[in-house]
Amino acid sequence: MPQPVVHHTFIIEKIYPKPPAAVFAAFSDPVQKSRWLGAGRQSMTGFELDFRVGGREFAGYLMGADTPFEGAKMTSDGLYLDIVPNARIVIGSNMAMNDRPFSASLLTFEFLADGEGTKLILTHQGAFFEHSDGPEMRQNGWTKLLDQLADTL
């Protein structure tokens, strides 16, 4: 019998010293996005970005030795549900490890002017299945990804 699904929502807010258009471009431009998504503790094995409502985003990774899942193949497959240029992105996403789905998420990114910079608000609403990373690891992962974004701006 499967374990109950764990539902969890978290919000991460970050301030970047670039205007909203520059931060938004780091999400919409495939070269920029692959740079900050692929800068972590795993190696990126594939990346596709069709940035439009109804478009798909796919990222594949091979988990590194300094992760709890060394050698595992992880994938993230998303569908863009809403895009307001320089203001909002909503994407539905599922993740799998070694081809076994372990979560589904709705992610909303809001880009707000903050002086000469940008306040980015990520709202992550997730459903975590058996063998998932769980809410705490997911929030830590997104915090690290958004820090990597800061390093590439």
Confidence at residue 3, expressed as pLDDT on a 0 to 100 scale: 83
- As a whole number of angstroms, the distance between CA 153 and CA 24 comes to 11
pTM, entire model: 0.93
Place of tokens 């994407």: 91
Give SS3 for 37.
Answer: helix
**pLDDT tens across 20-78, in order?**
999 999 999 999 999 998 876 668 899 999 999 999 999 999 988 887 788 999 999 99
Report the CATH number of the 6-152 domain.
Answer: 3.30.530.20
The pLDDT mean for the chain works out to 93
Higher-scoring residue by pLDDT: 3, 146: 146
Question: What integer pLDDT is reported at residue 40 of this predicted model?
Answer: 67
Please say whether the beta carbons of 149 and 36 come within 8 A. yes
